[in-house]
Amino acid sequence: MILCIPLEARVRTIIRASFIVAKRTSEIRYSLSGDSFQMSEIASDQVLILPDTVEVSEGQAITDELRMQALPIESFITVSAEEALPNALGLLLRLAVADGRLTDEELLSIQPVLDGRTWRPGLAVQVGDVFSYNASLWRCLQAHTTQSDWPPDATPALWRKVEVIHEEEVRVWQTGVDYIVGDEVAYPDATGDVYVCQQAHTSLTGWEPPAVPALWTAKSV
């Protein structure tokens, strides 16, 4: 492999390595290492990785033709065993979660394994995918590419928190929850009035029980 470091549209430095390993450190940054070098916090436009068959020299202009021969950093990313297991399990569970064949209680029973599958921006997620975020599990409701301003706890149309509500507990209404007909909630807190769900829906800000009688009716005492 040939690692080229550009400067002002020219090849400033050439590093030849028998192998290159990349690891993502943030949404747009990587660490790179090989048998003769180590680099950290590198953006994809700060290096060119070329096959050994490409002829290149220091001082050479970086043309569009040269860029087209470059290999993407993503192709050199390695996955550790700690990362591979939760990701593989998540993919296996996707269909079962999407079809409703796995309950929240069952998902929570394997949370220690799925905790390694962490939500982050830039992921292409599908319905049924389960990721860990802020110490909780979240299941994907709509296929999308994750963004930094779309975290699971702020996008109820995209994610639902994996949780188990015991019947004896007072269930307080909150956003981002899939309610079904017959569900009972207290609002605005555990000491508030009790409401009964009239239509299945995912709760949103502005759909508080007192404000939407089409979705909720006050329970008679």
Half-sphere exposure of residue 37: CA atoms within 13 angstroms, side-chain side: 19
Q: What residues contact 219, with CB distance under 8 A and at least 6 apart?
A: 184, 193, 194, 195, 196
What is the average pLDDT score of the chain?
86
Neighbouring C-beta atoms of residue 25, cutoff 10 Å: 12
For the stretch 136-184, pLDDT in tens is: 999 998 889 999 999 998 888 889 888 876 655 678 998 888 787 888 8
Question: Torsion angle of alpha carbons 176, 182, 187, 190, nearest 10°?
Answer: -100
Neighbouring C-beta atoms of residue 11, cutoff 10 Å: 20
Residue pair 157/143 in contact (Cβ under 8 Å)? The answer is no
Q: What residues contact 194, with CB distance under 8 A and at least 6 apart?
A: 184, 185, 186, 218, 219
The whole model's pTM is what? Answer: 0.49
Within the chain, residue ranges assigned H as helices are 64-68, 81-98, 104-109, 111-114
Domains in the chain (CATH in brackets) are: 2-76 (no CATH), 81-161 (2.10.10.20), 178-218 (no CATH)
pLDDT tens over the chain, length 221 residues = 899 999 999 999 999 988 888 888 887 888 998 888 899 998 888 999 999 889 999 999 999 999 889 888 877 876 665 666 677 777 778 888 887 788 888 889 988 888 888 898 888 888 889 999 999 999 998 889 999 999 998 888 889 888 876 655 678 998 888 787 888 899 999 889 999 999 888 889 999 999 999 999 998 76
